[in-house]
Amino acid sequence: MGFEVLFKGKNLIRLLGGVGVAMKISAVSVLISIVLGIVIGMIMTLKNPVIRAVTRVYLEIVRIMPQMVLLFIVFFGVTKLTGLNLSAEAASIIVFSFWGTAEMADLVRSSMISIPVIQYESSAALGLTKLQTYLYVIIPQIIRRLLPLSINLITRMIKTTSLIMMIGIVEVLKVGQQIIEANRKSSPHAAFGVFAVIFLLYFLVCWPISKLAGYLEKKWEN
Amino acid sequence: MSEILRVEHLKKSFDELMVLDDINLSVQRGEVVVIVGPSGCGKSTFLRCINGLEEIQEGRVLLGDEVINPAQKGTNKHREKIGMVFQSYDLFPHKTILENTTLAPQKVLKRKKDDAEKEALELLDRVGLASRKDSYPRMLSGGQKQRVAIVRALMMHPEILLFDEVTAALDPEMVREVLDVILDLAKQKRTMLIVTHEMAFAKAIADRILFLDGGQVIEDGDPKQFFESPRTERAKKFLSTFEYDRS
C-alpha cells in the first residue's frame, strides 16, 4: 500500500520535520493574529465611520482573496516591486497573519457586541466601576464566546499552511511529494501511504484542538 | 420621617423628544412610591435618571444631600446606595447564583468573601432559593432569576430600591412569587420606588401613587384615593383600561 517507504532511511523523521515547519509557521501566525486581532476587533466596535469603512474593506479583501493569491502577491509581487528580500517563511507569516488577524478581529468584534447593554447597566447599578465591570463581568463573557470560535480559526489556519509549499517552503506536504518522487521506482504505491500518513499527522494536530473547542463550548454553555 | 431622595425640575429628552418634563418628587425614608402610567410615559426613564444611567438635561437628583450626575465622576459611589432591579433580571450568566450576589459586595464594598456569602445565603433562604446557590442563571426560571436579582441588589445594603417593571417579562404564575418578596421588603420598611403594571399589587403595596403621563406627574397622592376616585380625566382613562365590561 506504499507505507513501507516511510520506514526507509530517514523518511519518517523528514516527514515529521515537515510537520514541524508547518506548525512553526502556524504558531507564529496564530500568535500574531490573536494579539493584533484582539486590538483591531476592539477598534472595530468603535462607532467612527472611517474606522468602520477601513476595517470592513480589510475584512472583505481577506475573505474574497484566496490565500494562495495573497501568498503569491506578497512573495513574488511585493518582493519584485520593492526589491525587498523576503524569505518564503517571512512571506507566509505575513500572509497568514494578515488573514488571521482579519478573521480574529471579526470574531472579537462580534463577541464584544453580543454582550447586551443591560449587562453593563446592571453592573453599573451595583456600583461597579467601568474597570471592574470589564474585568469581572464583560471580559469573562467575551472570552467564553470567543475561545471556541478562535480555536476553530486556529485549526483552519494550520490546515491552510499546506499552501506554503507553493512558494517553495519544504513543509510536510512537500516532503511527502519528495519522498514519493524519490521512490517512484521501488514503491509505485507510495503516494497512498505517504498522503495517508500526512492526513493522519494533520488529524493528530487538529483533532485535540477542535476537541478542546467542543469541550469549552459545552462547559460554558449559557 | 426624613427625606432621602429629592428630584427637582428634572428634564430629560432623547434628541428632540421630551421624555420627562419638569418632574419634582420628594421621597421619605421608608416610603413606598409606586409609579404608574401608560407605556411610553417615561416612568422607566425616570428610574434610570435617578440611578444616573441616563444623563439629564435640566434639574437635579439628590440622594440625601449629594447630587447624582452621570456626567461627573463618583456616580458609582451613589449607585452603591441605590439598588435597582430590571425587567430582564440581567444576572451575570457566567457566575453562579452565590457569585452573582456576592461579586459587588466584595469588589465595591470590599467585604470579606465568607462574610458576604453568609449574608447572601440568609437572603437567598428568605426568598426560598438557598438550595440553588451553586446553580447558574440559565438553570433558573424567570421568577427565580428575578428573586436572585432582588437579593443581588439587597446585598449592597441600598438606602433606596428601584424596581423597573420587574414582573413584566414573567409568566403569570411567576409574578406572585416575585411580588411577595417585594411585599416582604415593604414590611421591613425599605424605601422603594416601583414601576409596575400590576394594579392590584400597586394598590396593596403603595404608600403613595405617582401617575405619570406624557412625561409629567399628573397625580401624586394616596393610593386609595387614586384608585377609587382619581382627580384627573387622564388618570380615569388610564385606570379604565384595566377594567373589562361586556356591554
Residue A199 predicted with pLDDT over 80: yes
Residue A222 predicted with pLDDT over 70: no
A114 touches chain B (CB under 8 A): no
Of the pLDDT bands very low, low, confident and very high (cuts 50, 70, 90), residue B247 is low
CB contact under 8 A, A127 and B80: yes
Query: Which one, of A94, A115, A107, lies nearest residue A151 by Cα?
Result: A107
Question: Per-residue pLDDT tens for B207-220?
Answer: 999 999 988 899 99
Nearest CA in chain A to B74: A129
Quick one: pLDDT at residue A181?
A: 86
How far is CA A200 from each of CA A6, A151, A172, A194, rounded to the nearest angstrom? 13, 20, 12, 10
* Of residues A62 and B77, more confidently modeled: A62
Question: What mean pLDDT value characterizes chain B?
Answer: 90
Mean pLDDT, to the nearest integer, of A19-41? 93
A220 touches chain B (CB under 8 A): yes
A8 touches chain B (CB under 8 A): no
Residue B77 predicted with pLDDT over 80: no
List, in order, residues 6 or more apart from A10 with CB less than 8 Å away: none
Please check whether residue B108 is in contact with residue B157, taking contact to mean a CB–CB distance below 8 angstroms. no
Q: How is residue B92 written as a grid cell?
A: 451575570
Quick one: pLDDT at residue A139?
A: 92
Give the N- to C-terminal CA distance of chain A in Å, as an integer: 48
Mean pLDDT, to the nearest integer, of B85-91? 91
Residue B16 predicted with pLDDT over 70: yes
Question: Per-residue pLDDT tens for B174-213?
Answer: 888 899 999 999 999 999 999 998 888 898 899 999 999 9
Residue A84 predicted with pLDDT over 90: no
- Chain A residues close to B44, C-beta within 8 Å: none
Question: What mean pLDDT value characterizes chain A?
Answer: 89
Query: Which one, of B63, B19, B35, lies nearest residue B199 by Cα?
Result: B35
Quick one: pLDDT at residue A208?
A: 92
Give the helix/strand (H/E) hosting A197: helix A190-219
Cα gap B227→B236, rounded to integer Å? 9
* CB-count exposure of residue B135 (10 Å: 0-12, 13-18, 19+): middle
Q: What percent of chain A has pLDDT over 70?
A: 100
Model confidence, pTM: 0.82
Give the helix/strand (H/E) hosting B84: strand B82-85
Quick one: pLDDT at residue B174?
A: 87
Sheet hosting strand B216-221, strand order edge to edge: B82-85, B160-164, B192-195, B32-36, B208-213, B216-221
Q: Give B155 to chain A, closest Cα distance, Å.
A: 9
- Chain A residues close to B135, C-beta within 8 Å: none
Mean pLDDT, to the nearest integer, of A138-159? 90
Lowest model confidence (mean pLDDT) among A5-14, B43-52, B126-135: A5-14
Mean pLDDT, to the nearest integer, of A115-121? 93
SS3 assignment, position A209: helix
- Chain B residues close to A125, C-beta within 8 Å: 51, 53, 79, 82-84, 86, 153
Give the helix/strand (H/E) hosting A107: helix A88-113
Quick one: pLDDT at residue B140?
A: 93
A140 touches chain B (CB under 8 A): yes
Quick one: pLDDT at residue B1?
A: 63
Q: What percent of chain A has pLDDT over 90?
A: 47
CB contact under 8 A, B104 and A121: no
**Domains of chain A with CATH codes:** 3-221 (1.10.3720.10)
CB burial of B179-197 (b: ≥16 within 10 Å; e: otherwise) equals bebbeebbeeebbbbbbbe
Residue B20's beta-bridge partner residues? B12
Residue A126 predicted with pLDDT over 80: yes
ipTM, two decimals, is: 0.87
* Of residues B123 and A218, more confidently modeled: B123
Q: How is residue B86 written as a grid cell?
A: 430590571
